[in-house]
Amino acid sequence: MPYGRWASRRGEREVLRMNIQFEENGTVLICKLNEDLDMASANLFKTKVEQYIASVSFEKMVFDLANIGFMDSTGVGALVQMIRLIQGRGARVRLTGYNEEIGDVLDLIGVLRIVGAE
């Protein structure tokens, strides 16, 4: 039975909804994540991004991470999967607004060298 933002499924937490906003500005698509990106939310994040980008045309996608306070390894993996998907469509990807801790992790694993930061 759902409670708040979470539901229990076989002892694990599953996110029922995630606050992501998409904004189109010419050929730029902005994806604003307004919640932490972690094991509980990674699958829903990927689903929402995949569904949205399938319906629009863009040349550049910016992931605005300003409202994320925490990102675990599953969240980083989900972000990298979406970056690869978007780059596979021929679009550029940029990350912006992340805090120092998340920036250090993204830099350490090489994500910032691949996509660049704004």
Helical H segments across the chain, by residue range: 42-53, 73-88, 100-108, 111-115
For 66-79, write each residue's pLDDT tens digit: 999 999 999 999 99
- Considering the entire predicted model, what is its pTM? 0.83
pLDDT at 60 over 70: yes
Spatial neighbors of 71 by CB under 8 A, at least 6 apart, are 36, 37, 38, 65, 79, 102, 105
Alpha carbons 8 and 15: distance in angstroms, whole number: 9
87: left (phi over 0), alpha (psi -120 to 50) or beta: alpha
What domains sit in the chain, N to C, each tagged with a CATH number?
19-115 (3.30.750.24)
Helices 73-88 and 42-53: angle between axes, nearest 10 degrees: 10
pLDDT, tens digit (0-9, with 9 covering 90-100), for 3-16: 334 444 444 445 45
